[in-house]
Structure 1
Amino acid sequence: MDFVTIWESKWNEALKLWSEYVKLSPAKFLFTEMEEQKEGLTTSFAAIRLKDHRVLLSVNKIKSFQLEDFALEILGHEIGHHVYCPGDLVDQAKLVYIASLAMPRLNHLTPMVVNIYEDLFINDHLKRQNHLQMEEVYRKIGKQNDPFWNFYMRTYELLWALPSGTLTEGKLSDQIQSDAALVSRMIRNFPNDWTKGMFDFASICFPYFFEQNQTSYPIHIQSLLDTLDAGKGMTPPPGITEVDISSELFPKETITGTKKNLTPAEYSAICKSLGIEADVSEITYRFYKDKSIPYLVPFPELRNPSAKEEILEGNDLWDPGSPLEKINWLESTIKSPVVIPGYTTVEDVYGETISTEIQTNPIDLDLFVDCSGSMPNPQTDLSYLTLAGSIIALSALKTGSAVRVTLWSGEKEFLTTNGFIRNEKEILKVLTGYFGGGTCFPLELLEEEYKVEPKRKKHILVISDDGIDTMLTQNYPRDPRQIVSQALKNAQGGGSMVLQLYQPNQNPVVNELQQNGWDIYPIQNWNDLIQFSKHFVKRNYVRN
């Protein structure tokens, strides 16, 4: 019987190694090199794919290593990646990031180190809990006269009480013995919280590759790497804008024992390490959305305690010019079995009465964010302007408001959403863009939008610095002051400006804007924007 048939019959048994309730699609066997390349299985004999929770197996490579008799060992190991370590893309991303902090200048090797670390937990579980022959798989792969490989294999020998030399090659140095002993204790101490040991494990691995100036994955390790592109085909993972870094071996390191805030550039690097193929705008959108969620607040809305309620008063003749859906077909057929539009068709007539219900009218948000050269690039560094804009925009969407976002820099240099919309992805993609040019407020957008009073009240919010003076001082065909004054009046929901000013009380343009009804909130640094966004609705700016 072909070994593939045997392995397929053992799939359910392999699932039960972890739980009676684990359900995964059966493993996918790849029979040709073309199939392997299509699925991305080019170096290892097995791999996982988190997108559809599949296990991929190379028939030819399994034969080349003579692993046909180890179905449960290999199937159980790959299932362990799905249900145990890492389990999902978020945990995988956290491990990759923590490892990168411990391996400066060797970040290209961190996915490999993470993979090896996860294998230790899974293999130890299968060996101790299920009594599988995990060491025999490594016997088939073969010994290597390599310091890192010997350190890795010596760790297994200590975990499973195997005689020295069972999996290792030659005389081992004291450093290898010491490192293996530390890691074996680490695996036993953190079986359910592996993020605690990731920094220490990567720190132990670092010298093995740094001293050899390793630029790529060692050939003998490549056959074991089954999680390298686990995130291929997936969207950027949520929930990793902050990661806890802990260490038992290096507790005095400034980087450990704290919650580390990622930058957009670091988040982008993690996505690349996971095999995620997404453009910069998609990655940046995901980053700022996650960063905003803890700060979301209710957005202002007008409350009407005497909302009108409709009451059915009877029927009246339906006119052919009225919408077809207004016809009351039941009453029409009762009136005449033969329906003649405009003669026998009737529609309901409603009156209004005062209700005790409270009617809420969300105020739309018109957000203008300065993106000139004095502002940080939100795609590489954490931009508090972008973060504050995201917090306020997403808060507005929560209460039913529509949002228009405009990113502006120099003259005629702006990016805006297609009017007032409720698509958070489109809103944040505009917010996370970047110009980095001169400074010139887009008066034409204010002029066009507020020529007349809009149907829904709007609040105009501007986030900028001293460059806000271009709102009134730029060379514009029509009077800027008249345009700004009319916009504030017709918006009906008020206007606010959050400004980083070098001399708050000595800026004549800002003083003029404040006298004309704009609420001015000077801040000392961009970090203060977070406090402003959190307390945005507590400030009395809504004009009912």
Structure 2
Amino acid sequence: MSPSRFTPELIAKAWQDALALWDVQVRLSPPEPHVPFRADADHANEPLAYINMVKRQVFVNFHLLESMSAEASLMAVLAHEIGHHARFPHTLGWDAELKVMEQQLLPGLKQSLTNFFYDLQVNEVVGRTHWEDLCRVYRNFQSVYARRSMSPLFFFYLSIHEELWGCEPGTLVPRTEMRAMEERFPGLRVEARVFAQTFYALPGPRLQFLYFCATFLRYLSGPDDGTGSMPMASDVPTPDVDDWDSALQSGGRWQDALGEARERGWLSADQVSSAPDALDNINRITRSLPGTGDGKLRRALVSRHYRREVDKHLLKLPAAPNRVEPYLRTTPEAWEYGDDPSAIDWTLTVLSQGHLAAVSPLRRELEAEEPPGTEPGVPELEIYLDTSGSMPNPEMQLNAMTLAAQVLSASALRKQARVRGIIYSHGSPLVSPWMYDEEYARDFFLHYIGGGTQLPFDVLRRSAREKRDVLRVIISDSDFLANATAEDHMDTLVEVVRGSRMVVALLSLADDVHARQTLAPVVRERGFRLVVVKWLSDFGPAAAALSQALLEK
């Protein structure tokens, strides 16, 4: 329950005034009291206010607002939160786009500064008429943290507000720390004044953000620095996987703004031109996010990146729907009270039951027809993927062999064939079930073992004896030659070739002369093919060409 001072009438009035300030049509529920995240939490360490942009709900920590003696600022606090929904950032996709660019300019930053950026924009609008109420919040909030020194980042942020609202220096920042901050950061006050005069006059939010990052960089004491203890901090929710994925593709939209930022002298040539590759970018942003579910977000973003790489090499065929509308009628049964009346087959009932139809109806359910199986002539595909230490972890860097496996599996699955994957290195391999779903297969082939290379010949032999009409592809490098010539493995390979529709060795080698000499007993078999890829960048096109040759009619 909220304190008695915040009556429902008072909250409703402040809410309506806050909505009127932005003069936009927003669909938000009236504010609700903030419930502490932990039962034993000190309310001073809980947020003052925040908005759930998914549920469109604003929450206010009435207890903290009262302890700060800032009850009169309720309307300004609500207007601040509405501003995040109405305009800054307005969408979580835009928030994700800024965070991606932030990691490019400030690599290693663990706590995003975008909340400072949005608050500067929101407070400029709210502060046109209610700057005193916002000043009360920022000034009184410091009493809660009276024993803590203010971070340079927050000090500079408040100095900008003093300049923006024409306040005397020391109105918001601690007077006792002004001299020390000026000595530590010479020209801090002048820079705050210049920022307030420049930031809001810049044309376009992208240029604003680049100027913001270039200026605030000076006041970061380290990668762990961030918003820290400040009111209305971290009051914008985290983007979801779709927002992040879209943001990672937004680099082209920043080129003009980056060029202008360099011309103005805000950013160096290295900062403008050192855009990380997609997987490096994914690792940067996911490392800075709390609670990513043991890498689930990173894995999802990596999977989508590989899907785009696969689609560069394969034509996206329209997939048959997994769920078809039921229309086949089942065997009739007696309808009983409580069954769905729409299941009654009145035509069959009247024909079979005659005058008893009304008291003894029959029901028949509808079921879907079994989906079509594999296209005629398209074999099941079994892929052996070498993930030894000679190739990178596919989640950290593009792995050409992993991409080749995904191209082959996607090509087969789009023709309704089944695919099984065996990921190996040294020790026990990872063996998938027979897979029907392209996304599931793509995720499986992102697994990585590392270490030495040891093809699981026992798995290969057992599989060939169990299922003969299977196309088997081995993706590896020169280590495959060493594996094949050890012990009695060459005899095993010959047996596997004779027990398969075909066995293809897709190998990364400088040439095929030595390989054909080494694999001579297997090369002589009609069901064996050797495909040599000289450059790792050619693995994707080679896999696409191979799938075209093997799987097309």
- Under a length normalisation based on structure 2, what TM-score does the superposition of the two structures give? 0.71
Q: 2:191 aligns with which of 173, 178, 185?
A: 178
Letter in 2 for 1:442: P
Pairwise CA distance, 1:177: 1.7
2:246 is paired with a residue of what secondary structure? coil
Whether contact under 8 Å (1:16, 1:22) holds in the other structure is no
Letter in 2 for 1:226: S
Distance change (3 Å), C-alpha of 1:495 and 1:222: farther
**Structure 1: gaps of 5 or more residues:** 302-311, 319-327, 340-344, 348-358
Q: Which residue of 2 aligns with 1:527?
A: 537
Pairwise CA distance, 1:528: 2.9
1:255 is paired with a residue of what secondary structure? helix
Q: 2:282 aligns with which of 257, 267, 272?
A: 267
- What is the rounded CA distance, in whole Å, between the counterparts of 1:16 and 1:529 in structure 2? 59
Pairwise CA distance, 1:287: 1.7
Deviations 1:398-436 (A, max 9, x none): 55443322211125x2112222332624x3443222211
1:260 is paired with a residue of what secondary structure? coil
Deviations 1:174-216 (A, max 9, x none): 344235524652344255x34x444542332233233xx6855
Q: 1:486 aligns with which of 488, 498, 501?
A: 498
- What is the rounded CA distance, in whole Å, between the counterparts of 2:188 and 2:227 in structure 1? 20
- What is the rounded CA distance, in whole Å, between the counterparts of 1:146 and 1:543 in structure 2? 64
Q: Is structure 2 residue 310 aligned with structure 1 residue 298?
A: no
Q: Is structure 2 residue 550 aligned with structure 1 residue 541?
A: yes
Q: Which residue of 2 aligns with 1:253?
A: 269
Whether contact under 8 Å (2:214, 2:266) holds in the other structure is no
Distance change (3 Å), C-alpha of 1:475 and 1:54: farther
Q: Which residue of 2 aligns with 1:208?
A: 219
Q: Which residue of 1 aligns with 2:368?
A: none
Q: 2:507 aligns with which of 493, 499, 503?
A: 499
What aligned pairs does 1:98-137 form with structure 2 within 5 A after superposition?
98-103=101-106, 107-108=109-110, 110-111=111-112, 113-127=113-127, 134-137=134-137
Pairwise CA distance, 1:371: 0.9
Distance change (3 Å), C-alpha of 1:242 and 1:149: same
**More strand as a share of residues:** 1
Q: Is structure 2 residue 413 aligned with structure 1 residue 403?
A: no
What aligned pairs does 1:3-22 form with structure 2 within 5 A after superposition?
3=6, 5=8, 6-11=10-15, 14-15=18-19, 17-18=21-22, 20-22=24-26
- What is the rounded CA distance, in whole Å, between the counterparts of 1:236 and 1:417 in structure 2? 30
- Pick which of 127-136 and 62-71 moved more: 127-136
2:11 is paired with a residue of what secondary structure? helix
2:549 is paired with a residue of what secondary structure? coil
Q: Which residue of 2 aligns with 1:306?
A: none
Pairwise CA distance, 1:29: 1.0
Q: Is structure 2 residue 108 aligned with structure 1 residue 95?
A: no
- What is the rounded CA distance, in whole Å, between the counterparts of 2:227 and 2:220 in structure 1? 10
Deviations 1:125-162 (A, max 9, x none): 43459999545543444699765444323433454566
Distance change (3 Å), C-alpha of 1:250 and 1:507: farther
Whether contact under 8 Å (1:43, 1:222) holds in the other structure is no
2:72 is paired with a residue of what secondary structure? coil
1:70 is paired with a residue of what secondary structure? helix
Q: Which residue of 1 aligns with 2:453?
A: 439
Distance change (3 Å), C-alpha of 1:205 and 1:533: farther
Deviations 1:20-61 (A, max 9, x none): 4422344331366845859x9934312344564543322221
Whether contact under 8 Å (1:285, 1:432) holds in the other structure is no
Distance change (3 Å), C-alpha of 1:91 and 1:385: farther
Letter in 2 for 1:370: D
Letter in 2 for 1:375: M
- What is the rounded CA distance, in whole Å, between the counterparts of 1:87 and 1:240 in structure 2? 15
- What is the rounded CA distance, in whole Å, between the counterparts of 1:15 and 1:399 in structure 2? 54
- What is the rounded CA distance, in whole Å, between the counterparts of 2:408 and 2:438 in structure 1? 14
Q: What is the root-mean-square deviation in Å for CA atoms of aligned residues?
A: 4.6
- What is the rounded CA distance, in whole Å, between the counterparts of 1:238 and 1:363 in structure 2? 34
Identity of aligned residues (%): 19
Q: Which residue of 2 aligns with 1:307?
A: none
Q: Which residue of 2 aligns with 1:321?
A: none
Distance change (3 Å), C-alpha of 1:360 and 1:176: farther
- What is the rounded CA distance, in whole Å, between the counterparts of 2:275 and 2:159 in structure 1? 33
- What is the rounded CA distance, in whole Å, between the counterparts of 2:385 and 2:197 in structure 1? 52
Q: Which residue of 2 aligns with 1:81?
A: 84
Pairwise CA distance, 1:365: 3.9
Deviations 1:333-383 (A, max 9, x none): 6367599xxxxx9x9xxxxxxxxxxx9556654332211121212343343
Q: 2:302 aligns with which of 287, 302, 317?
A: 287
1:498 is paired with a residue of what secondary structure? strand
Pairwise CA distance, 1:507: 1.4
Q: Which residue of 1 aligns with 2:157?
A: 152
Q: Is structure 2 residue 437 aligned with structure 1 residue 422?
A: yes
Letter in 2 for 1:86: P
Whether contact under 8 Å (1:27, 1:57) holds in the other structure is yes
Deviations 1:292-331 (A, max 9, x none): 2364233799xxxxxxxxxx9xxxx99xxxxxxxxx9956
Letter in 1 for 2:33: F
Whether contact under 8 Å (1:365, 1:458) holds in the other structure is yes
Letter in 1 for 2:532: P
Letter in 2 for 1:283: R
Whether contact under 8 Å (2:413, 2:436) holds in the other structure is no
Pairwise CA distance, 1:85: 3.2
**Structure 2: gaps of 5 or more residues:** 144-148, 319-327, 333-344, 357-361, 365-373
Distance change (3 Å), C-alpha of 1:4 and 1:443: farther
Distance change (3 Å), C-alpha of 1:50 and 1:461: farther
Pairwise CA distance, 1:243: 5.6
- What is the rounded CA distance, in whole Å, between the counterparts of 2:412 and 2:132 in structure 1? 56
**More helix as a share of residues:** 2
Distance change (3 Å), C-alpha of 1:453 and 1:371: closer
1:76 is paired with a residue of what secondary structure? helix
